[in-house]
Structures are given as C-alpha cells and as structure tokens.
Amino acid sequence: MRLSKSAIEAFGYCPYSFWIKYIKKFKTPANEAMLRGTRFHDFAEKFFDKCDELPPERWEEFVDETLKEDEQAYQLWFIQKERARYEKLLDEGKEDYFIPVYREVHINSTDLKLHGYIDRIDCNDKHKKTFTLVEY
C-alpha cells in the first residue's frame, strides 16, 4: 500500500473513514470541500495557461463569476499573490521565471511508500538550480 497526502489527512481526521476508503476501498461521493478544491485547481491551471493573454492589471478578469463569493475571493487572493510575485520577478529581471516549470507533477516513492501530486514547481534560480514546490 502506498499512501497519499489525502490518505494521511483522512487518517488524521478520522481513522474509521480512512479504513472505509483506503482499506476496504469503498467509493465515497465527492463532498463540497473536494469539489471546491477541484474548482480551484482548474482555475489555477487555466490562469497559468492564459495569464500571458492579459496584462497583470487585468488578471481579475479570470475570476469565475458563477462561483460563490468566498470562492471568488480565494481566486482574487491567488491573483493578488501571483501579481506580487510577478512584479518582484520583474524588478529582479527574472520575469521569465513566472510561469511554473512544471504543474501537476505525480511523485511516487517506492522506498517511502508515498505518492501524490505537486501542484506546481517554480524556478527560483536557473544557475543555482533552486526551485519552490507549491501546494494549493
């Protein structure tokens, strides 16, 4: 058995729920938190696919206005943080570091018996080969 971040969180939250889902393998329907998480991941993917089509001061146009206010607010928060990161990179002459090097990278460690996904990998310095792993 290999564990994912979700499985470890499930066990920490409720060992019985972990047993049902990961040991007995009963399928459970998606709950609202899972659906929100999926919607945010989809938003982040679309943002990086299209952010070069608009200047940073118009990135708010990517917010999905069909969602509830709190989900829109989270998307706005993400945009504000990404705009600040972009402006910092621009000041440093590193604006080409803005787009993540990788997104949705599957990792699998047979030694540690863990697997999961890294939401994105940002480059910090190409020469020093330093990166930031980002978890949404």
Half-sphere exposure (Cβ direction) of 95: Cα atoms closer than 13 Å: 9
The per-residue pLDDT string of the chain (136 residues; one tens digit each, 9 = 90 and over) reads 678 888 888 899 899 988 988 889 888 888 898 899 999 999 999 999 999 999 999 999 999 999 999 999 999 999 999 999 999 999 999 999 999 999 999 999 888 888 889 999 999 999 999 999 999 8
Task: Give Cβ neighbours of residue 56 (< 8 Å, ≥ 6 apart).
Answer: 83, 86, 87
Rounded Cα–Cα distance for residues 46 and 49 (Å): 5
**Would you state the torsion angle of the CA atoms of residues 55, 58, 62, 65, taken in this order, to the nearest 10 degrees?**
-170
| Predicted TM-score of the model (pTM) | 0.81
